[in-house]
Structure 1
Amino acid sequence: MPRYQSSSVEGARKAVAARLREVRLDGGLKGHELAARCGWHKSKTSRIESARTPPSDADIRAWCAACGADGEADDIVAASRTADSMYLEWKRLQRTGLRRLQEARMPLYERTKLHRGYASHVVPGLFQTPAYAAALLSSVSRFHGTPDDTEAAVDARMARARVLHQGSHRFALLIEEAVLRYQVGDAEAMAGQLGHLLSVMSLPAVSVGVIPFSAQGRGMWTLETFDVFDDQRVHVELLTAQVTLTAPSEVGMYIKAWTDLRGIAVYGASARSLVADALGALG
């Protein structure tokens, strides 16, 4: 797994490693003895116990069996899968295409009361038009080499966007001005997207702040795209993976970053003017 400095992910993996070490010690085995019983190199035991190598389900079951602790295996496998779910590579999330990924997120969006987000590269998914989403998702599919189900994925993304008009949800999204200028799809698709964004900005449940290129007193650098769900959960989008953070200290750090960025964003007429300028630049 590529390294991502997250105490949530690292802490969960270290907890699994510590439990496996306890199982070995309780079984009265040394590291090389366990390795011999499992049929692997002794360095693998060390790497697993130091959380450098995440164990597979089979590794955990073999480990517990070698220590005479088969009854421990299911719980440790479950803990390992939980740790693994905090860092999910896109190739795993998208292995059957993009539609299921869009649908899988629906329950989270439906139960979230306050959704805060920051977009540094593309228009947030909730605000996308079908044409913009199709251009974006098809490029994602090509890059990651996943099954191309763009049409179905776009339909699922549009269905998810209905949450903007339902229930008592609130949405507070921050967008870098660069997002308005990066052309996704052809000029017609981009023009339609910017026009749609102007419409979304008028929704009563939505607050959109645009961070201008010329923002003064910028104390927070451009970050990766992230979303905060009800102060409980953060999704961070990397090139290779989605990272889910639930540790209060880390969630709080992203809320602090969002708050700092909000302080340099413009709203209302000023934000709409930046969108209109980008629209006009398309000719």
Structure 2
Amino acid sequence: MSTDFQQARLALGVRLRELRTEAGLSGRDLSSQLGWQASKVSRLENGKQTPSLSDLDAWVAAVGQPDSAAELRGRLQGLETRYRSWRRQLAAGHRPRQEAGITETNRSEVVRSFEAGVVPGMLQTADYARHVLSRYVDLRGTPRDIELAVNARMQRQAALYEGGRKFHLLMWEAALHVLLCPPDVLAGQLDRLIGLLGLSSVSLGIIPLGAPMTLAPGDGFSIYDDRLVISETWSAELWLDEPQEIALFSTIWEALNASAVYGHRAHRLIARARSSLDQA
């Protein structure tokens, strides 16, 4: 979780505590009035839990401050603009998230991305994407709209063939070997990567496993022009648009890129991974 997000959640908790104390209520009084466990009031006030809209509405009603509802909702919206839990993000399935990706891609002229354990989504085959998305549907228990999500991911790739856009994509060599899918599906994916190496809109860098690095590969992220970073964690997706945050991720991308190989050297790594599948 980002430090800025946590600081904002702490500030929201402080404001909730102010409203409670101004009403002359103890935490126990408020929890009893709302029918909550006392620990919930404490978690919200100490920035340990993100409130829902219904939590905020109940809070302002209980402390007799309905006019504060808009302020609190605004604070919460600011949090959720930055930090989107997968539970909320994927509540309606994977397709809406893929369509959001289409929107951001279409708004951008330059996209820089990094992935450590999977092939970047912009380069995935439909079969590979189907297996990857299935894994995360199973992990998070989200709606199984896999075919719709795969179709949306394939639509997003149309941007690769449109003029005026550049995609600078980095991946760790490990992603060429991770079997999130059957070997024949991974083989087809690697064949596609080789075919894309000559595409003018795509610059594909691969970081060899033994390459000297100044930073360890971490979570995947994408930088859209210099206006937005989307970074994925196991539990959430961060949408970051503050200049200093974008600058930080640009620095991270450049550090990773310094260890990457391109052209015939990237081709050699992909071909080696492809050959290993034939020998298995």
TM bucket by the smaller chain?
Answer: 0.7 to 0.9
Moved more, 33-42 or 235-244: 33-42
Question: Superposition pairs for residues 40-79 of structure 1, below 5 Å?
Answer: 40=36, 43-79=39-75
Question: Superposition pairs for residues 112-127 of structure 1, below 5 Å?
Answer: 112-127=108-123
1:166-222 Cα shifts (integer Å, max 9, x gaps): 25222111111111122342333222211211222222221111111221x322112
Please, which runs of 5 or more residues in structure 1 have no aligned partner?
Answer: none
For residues 260 and 109 of structure 1, the distance between their equivalents in structure 2, rounded to whole angstroms, comes to 23
Q: Which residue in the other structure is 2:164 paired with?
A: 168
Q: Which residue in the other structure is 1:271 paired with?
A: 266
Amino acid at match of 2:218: L
Give the direction of change, closer, same or farther, for the CA distance of 1:64–1:170 in structure 2 (3 Å limit). Answer: same
Question: Superposition pairs for residues 225-244 of structure 1, below 5 Å?
Answer: 225-244=220-239
Paired residue for 2:94, among 95, 98, 116? 98
Give the direction of change, closer, same or farther, for the CA distance of 1:146–1:64 in structure 2 (3 Å limit). Answer: closer
> Normalization by structure 2: what TM-score?
0.88
In the alignment, does 2:134 pair up with 1:135? no
For residues 183 and 42 of structure 1, the distance between their equivalents in structure 2, rounded to whole angstroms, comes to 46
Shift of 1:80: 1.0
Q: Which residue in the other structure is 1:150 paired with?
A: 146
Q: Which residue in the other structure is 1:108 paired with?
A: 104
Give the direction of change, closer, same or farther, for the CA distance of 1:28–1:167 in structure 2 (3 Å limit). Answer: farther
1:199-253 Cα shifts (integer Å, max 9, x gaps): 22222221111111221x3221121211122233222222232233334333322
Contact 1:8–1:247 (CA under 8 A) maintained in structure 2: no
In the alignment, does 2:200 pair up with 1:204? yes
Q: Secondary structure at the match of 1:88?
A: strand
Q: Which residue in the other structure is 2:252 paired with?
A: 257
Contact 1:170–1:205 (CA under 8 A) maintained in structure 2: yes
Shift of 1:25: 5.3
Q: Secondary structure at the match of 1:254?
A: helix
Identity %: 36
Q: Secondary structure at the match of 1:243?
A: strand
Moved more, 124-133 or 146-155: 146-155
1:98-134 Cα shifts (integer Å, max 9, x gaps): 2222123221111122211111001000000111112
Q: Secondary structure at the match of 2:168?
A: strand
Moved more, 126-135 or 176-185: 176-185
Q: Secondary structure at the match of 1:282?
A: helix
When the two structures are aligned, how many residues end up with a matched partner? 278
For residues 66 and 187 of structure 1, the distance between their equivalents in structure 2, rounded to whole angstroms, comes to 58
Shift of 1:150: 2.0
Q: Secondary structure at the match of 1:189?
A: helix
For residues 94 and 45 of structure 1, the distance between their equivalents in structure 2, rounded to whole angstroms, comes to 27
Amino acid at match of 2:227: Q
Moved more, 172-181 or 79-88: 79-88
For residues 94 and 88 of structure 2, the distance between their equivalents in structure 1, rounded to whole angstroms, comes to 11
> Normalization by structure 1: what TM-score?
0.87
Q: Secondary structure at the match of 1:107?
A: helix
Contact 1:7–1:247 (CA under 8 A) maintained in structure 2: no
Paired residue for 1:246, among 241, 249, 254? 241
For residues 251 and 52 of structure 2, the distance between their equivalents in structure 1, rounded to whole angstroms, comes to 36
Moved more, 34-43 or 159-168: 34-43
Q: Which residue in the other structure is 2:276 paired with?
A: 281
